[in-house]
A = this chain, B = another copy of it.
Amino acid sequence: MTTQMEAAQGGVLTAALIQAAEREGMEPAVLRRSVAEGTVVILANNRRPHTVATAVGAGCQVKVNANFGTSPRRTHLREELHKLDLARRAGADTVMDLSTGGDLDEVRRAIIKASDLPVGTVPIYQAVVQTTGRGGDIPAMDPEEIFSVIEGQAEDGVDFITVHCGVTTRSLERLQRQGRVTDIVSRGGAFLAEWMLANQQENPLYEQFDRLLALARRYDLTLSLGDGLRPGSIADATDRAQVEELITLGELAAEAHRAGVQVMIEGPGHVPLDQVETNIVLEKELCNQAPFYVLGPIVTDVAPGYDHITSAIGGALAAYHGADFLCAVSPSEHLGLPTPAEVFEGVVAAKIAAHAADIARGDPRARQRDRKMSTYRKALDWQGQMQWALDPDKITAVHQERDLGGDVCSMCGEYCAMKVVRERLRSERA
């Protein structure tokens, strides 16, 4: 038995499962059943034993991923490691290295080495970058290279990979018939579509899915089935191309489960508020109840520069309705490569969304945290609040820059509601 799923199916409580269960406040036996059924994944490449065990899926707290990585125009390894550090401090549960610039192997290995959190990648990026680096265009990419890149990354210890297996000849036909506003906005999806249309061939990650499963099984690499056709605008949300792809991802999830391979499903994208719940129900029903990993969803297209907020709105609602894993979106998502500070801001916003959903889902620890925070707030005890605040440094920074004095703040000064009636209500109660 080589995967967490197979171990769980065999009744084995692995060290990673026990550690993950402890973190979730769950009985290991309960978590084991969920992992066996595939409704929860444990992100842990079996070649990299020192990762923080992280469970994603039904019954677990909502998790947050932070994306970063070099681009062809900005390739500073040190800056990416700084982003990793800030993402951790902001509370990210996992990180993804999406690098496309510089020495990709070096960057990835440095991130894996520096990260005790699970690390994910999108291997098709490296396959394309290597192809174009040799002077080829995307259609010149050799499918064998995709698989060798995946194997190399798994060997390095990557815990989960995005593979856009649902971009098929059929789904591209449906995309063309659909007539979208923004066609394809997934980079990996676009690379594969370009290759497929130019070569008039099926997606190798779909056609050779068995081979991918064998590889994933060997390293217990969790497959994150990417939504290459996710909507990139509100107008394209929940359209036929998206749902066609989701059905395919569901079939592949069922195959993965039969092979003992851990699998998540990636989801949109740009979705209006009124379609968020529908998207969660569809994913769970069509995809064997596999964990749902959403990018956003972003609830309006018109706020570039503020997409940590547009995605926090959609992410909170998605997670409340059952999404398991939120991909943090930086403020500048639609403008440019995020700065380290923007990676931090994006993770904080996603953590707010995840925590708000945990509260609404009835997680007693989440509710307790808010109760403690509010008890200290009532007492005007700033030190106490800093123990429970999502970003304690922010409290210090605001107080240092403004005129905080004594037990009231500059908002209301002596007209503090908490303070005005505190004594009176206390004596009335006595």
Contact = CB atoms under 8 A, between A and B. Distances in A.
Interface in A221-245: 232-236
Interface stretch (A3-11, A150-158, A183-191, A287-295): A183-191
Contact of A377 (B101, B233, B353): B233
Given A337-B410, A349-B306, A389-B304, A197 B425 contact: yes
B428 A197 contact: yes
A306 B352 contact: yes
B301 A377 contact: yes
Contact of A421 (B197, B235, B360, B371): B197
Contact of A272 (B100, B183, B356): B356
B197 A274 contact: no
A365 to B, nearest CB: 12
Contacts of A236: 374
A410 B360 contact: no
A378 B425 CA distance: 59
B273 A418 contact: no
A390 B301 CA distance: 9
Contacts of A128: 415
Interface in A324-382: 332-337, 348-349, 352-353, 355-357, 359-362, 367, 369-371, 373-375, 377-378
A305 B391 contact: yes
A101 B395 CA distance: 24
Contacts of A415: 71-72, 100, 125, 128-129, 187, 191
A402 interface: yes
Given A413-B100, A413-B101, A304 B371 contact: no
Interface in A16-73: 71-73
Tell me which of A100, A305, A375, A409 has the highest count of chain B C-beta atoms within 10 A of its own C-beta: A305
A398 B74 contact: no
Nearest to A125: B415
Interface in A270-327: 270, 272-274, 299-306, 308-310, 312-313, 316-317, 320
A232 B390 CA distance: 18
Classify the secondary structure of A's interface with B. Answer: helix
A105 interface: no
Given A336-B411, A410-B337, A306 B394 contact: yes
Nearest to A394: B305
A211 interface: no
B355 A302 contact: yes
Interface of A: 71-74, 100-101, 125, 128-129, 132, 138, 175-176, 181-187, 189-191, 193-194, 197-198, 232-236, 270, 272-274, 299-306, 308-310, 312-313, 316-317, 320, 332-337, 348-349, 352-353, 355-357, 359-362, 367, 369-371, 373-375, 377-378, 385, 388-391, 394-395, 397-399, 402-405, 409-418, 420-422, 424-425, 428-429
11 contacts: A128-B415, A138-B420, A176-B425, A176-B428, A197-B421, A234-B374, A309-B349, A313-B356, A335-B409, A336-B404, A336-B411
